[in-house]
Amino acid sequence: MALHLINVEESGTDEAELSRFCDEFKLDLTVEYKGGQYWLHSDVERERPISIEIDQELHRHEEYFKRSSIHKELVARAIGIKGPFRPRVLDLSAGLLGDTLLFLALGCEVLALERHPLVSLLIKKALLNAKHPALAKLTFINEDAGHFLESKPQVDTIYFDPMFEDANGKSAPRKEMRIFRHFIGSDHDAKSVFEKAKRLGAKRLVVKRPKHSIALTSEEAVTFLGKATRYDVYLGVR
């Protein structure tokens, strides 16, 4: 089991850390350098590799918001966007930056965390390759959320999208999520991270879940329901 790098002339500390991770957890990972960033090859041979195309995604959001009101967006309401106000958002689990980039497109300042060496490598290389002006409002930190929360960052909204076992096993996960579960696994400390986030005292703590999945906690929440996604919002948490 090992890390396989394609078209990589030099490797640094991030690649070395990922190689150690592969050795420790007996994983075979193939990562290709192409177009100025890294692409993760799927565990299924016929599938295209995945990456984070930041500029393209931000431009896609911008085009969408030219036709649709930001204030009608479910996630915008969940994180606390009202009128001209844009919250400072702490994204505890950045992943492939899907929600992080959406928050930037909504006009928010975002502090995004990711602890996994594989995902962090993809993010760092993608950021080096990106030029969109909205990125001026993004701070990315490769750190464990539970540890980072101890520094007591000043934010309005904490956003958490854990890979956590749920009760809805009827539909197959999308490709990226299946690959992540295969290579990374679940966030077994999700409830512990939630408790630490709650103690930070932000105006709101938002937990993203599949629509029919179990809640992360039994505490009362304001729920925003979409077609496939649910946002459980805990207000004035302490």
Predicted confidence (pLDDT) at residue 66 exceeds the cutoff of 50: yes
How many Å apart are CA 222 and CA 132, to the nearest integer?
Answer: 34
In this prediction, residue 29 has a pLDDT band, given cuts at 50, 70 and 90, of confident
pLDDT in tens, 126-161: 999 999 999 999 999 999 999 999 999 999 999 999
Instruction: Select from 155, 160, 166 the least CA-distant residue to 108.
Output: 155
Mean pLDDT of the chain: 87
User: Residue 50 gets which letter from DSSP?
Assistant: B
List, for residues 157-198, the tens digit of each pLDDT value. Answer: 999 998 765 544 444 455 565 666 655 555 578 889 999 999
Name 171's Cβ contacts closer than 8 Å, sequence gap at least 6. Answer: none
CA distance 165 to 118: 21
The answer to whether 150 touches 74, Cβ cutoff 8 Å, is no
How many helices (H) and strands (E) the chain has is answered by 8, 10
Let me know: does 123 contact 130? Beta carbons within 8 Å: no
Of the candidates 210, 139, 128, the one whose C-alpha atom is nearest the C-alpha of residue 174 is 210
Q: How far apart are CA 62 and CA 47, in angstroms?
A: 28
Superfamily of domain 52-235: Vaccinia Virus protein VP39 (3.40.50.150)
Q: What is the pTM (predicted TM-score) of this model?
A: 0.89
> Which residue would you say has higher pLDDT here, 18 or 45?
18
What band does 24 get if pLDDT is binned at 50, 70 and 90?
confident
End-to-end alpha-carbon separation of the chain, Å? 44
Residue 218 contacts by C-beta under 8 Å, 6 or more apart in sequence? Answer: none
Q: How much is the pLDDT for 27?
A: 81
pLDDT of 165: 57
Model pLDDT for residues 68-117, shown as the tens digit of each residue: 999 989 999 999 999 999 999 999 999 899 999 999 999 999 999 998 88
